[in-house]
Amino acid sequence: MAKLKDFKAIKNKWFKDPKVKEEYNLLKEEFQIAEEIIKARTKAHISQSELANMIGTKAPAISRIESPGYGRVSITMLKKVADALNCKLQIKLVPKTR
51 in Cβ contact with 84 (< 8 Å): yes
Using CA atoms, how far apart are residues 34 and 64, in angstroms rounded to an integer?
9
Task: Tell which wins on pLDDT, 14 or 29.
Answer: 14
What separation in angstroms does the CA of 68 have from each of 64, 71, 90? 8, 8, 19
What are the pLDDT digits (tens) for 57-83?
999 999 999 987 777 889 999 999 999
Read off the pLDDT of each residue in 32-45 and give the average, rounded to a whole number: 92
pLDDT band at residue 32, thresholds of 50, 70 and 90?
A: confident
Give the domain 7-84 fold: 434 Repressor (Amino-terminal Domain) (1.10.260)
CB atoms within 10 A of CB 48: 20
Read off the pLDDT of each residue in 40-56 and give the average, rounded to a whole number: 96
Q: Read off the pTM.
A: 0.73
